[in-house]
Chains A and B, each alone.
Chain A
Amino acid sequence: AQTVTQSQPEMSVQEAETVTLSCTYDTSESDYYLFWYKQPPSRQMILVIRQEAYKQQNATENRFSVNFQKAAKSFSLKISDSQLGDAAMYFCAYRSLLPTFGNEKLTFGTGTRLTIIP
C-alpha cells in the first residue's frame, strides 16, 4: 500500500515571502498522480495543483509550483508571494493509475498547517 508523509506539522511565513511544504511518498508503481489540496478554516477542500508522474516538467499554477523528484519520491509545494488567504492546512495526496479495483482512491498525508505572518 502507498503511504504519504508530510513531516512538517506546522509552517509559517512572512507575507510576500516564499515557503516550501514537503511531501514524500512510498510506492512501487511507476505511473500515478500527485495532488496538493488546501483546506482553509472554512473546511472546504480545494485542489491547488496536480502532477502526473510520467511528466518530467513540474506543474505550476500561478503562485503555486511543485518540485517533483520521482526518483527521490518527493513532491514539495512552493508558494511564492505568500498572501494572507494562503493560510490553511495543506494536504499532499497520491492516486494510483493501476486499473485495479480499489486503486481509485486518494491516499492523504497528515497535513501541514501554514500560517501567514502579516
Chain B
Amino acid sequence: NAGVTQTPKFRILKIGQSMTLQCTQDMNHNYMYWYRQDPGMGLKLIYYSVGAGITDKGEVPNGYNVSRSTTEDFPLRLELAAPSQTSVYFCASSYSGRPNYGYTFGSGTRLTVV
C-alpha cells in the first residue's frame, strides 16, 4: 500500500519558471490537500479538494493552481516561480467517513527558487 506519493522530492527552479508537483493516493480518500511548510511557520494550506472536480482555496493560494480530475490525483501547479515560493510542500489526504483519523501525508517536496 503506497499511501500518498509525491514527486519530485527535490527541485530547483529559476525565477519565472513553472512546474507541477505531482500527488497521488491509492486509499480511495475523497479529501486531498496541499500545504506548504516554511521554517518556523508551521503548515499553511494552499488548496484543497473534497472530491473529483471540486477544489477550493486555502490560506495561501496566490501563485498556485490545482485540478482534481480523478479521486487519486491532485497536482499542484506553480506558475512563474518566485523566491517566496521556496518551501517544503506536502500533499495529504483523508477520508470524510473517518475524520478522527487525521491526514495521511506524502513525504514532501523541497522546492528552491533561485
Chain A residues within CB distance 8 Å of chain B: 9, 33, 35, 37, 42-45, 47, 50, 52, 91, 93, 95, 97, 101-102, 104-106, 108-111
A33 contact set on B, CB distance < 8 A: 99-100, 102
Chain B residues bordering chain A, tally (CB within 8 A): 26
Q: Does B58 contact A (CB under 8 A)?
A: yes
Tell whether, in the assembled complex, residue B107 and residue A104 are in contact, meaning their CB atoms are under 8 Å apart. no
Tell whether, in the assembled complex, residue B107 and residue A44 are in contact, meaning their CB atoms are under 8 Å apart. yes
Q: Does B88 contact A (CB under 8 A)?
A: yes
1/0 contact trace for B87-101 toward A, CB 8 Å? 010101010100111
A44 contact set on B, CB distance < 8 A: 105, 107-108
A34 to B31, CA, bound (A): 18
Given A43-B108, A45-B105, A101-B56, answer yes or no on A108-B42 (Cβ-Cβ < 8 Å). yes
Q: Does B2 contact A (CB under 8 A)?
A: no
Tell whether, in the assembled complex, residue A110 and residue B41 are in contact, meaning their CB atoms are under 8 Å apart. yes
Tell whether, in the assembled complex, residue B103 and residue A106 are in contact, meaning their CB atoms are under 8 Å apart. yes
Q: Does B80 contact A (CB under 8 A)?
A: no
A42 to B106, CA, bound (A): 12
Tell whether, in the assembled complex, residue B103 and residue A97 are in contact, meaning their CB atoms are under 8 Å apart. no
Given A33-B102, A44-B107, 18 other A-B residues pairs in contact with their CB atoms under 8 A: A37-B102, A42-B107, A43-B108, A44-B108, A45-B90, A45-B103, A45-B105, A50-B101, A52-B100, A91-B43, A95-B102, A97-B99, A102-B56, A104-B94, A108-B43, A110-B40, A110-B42, A111-B40
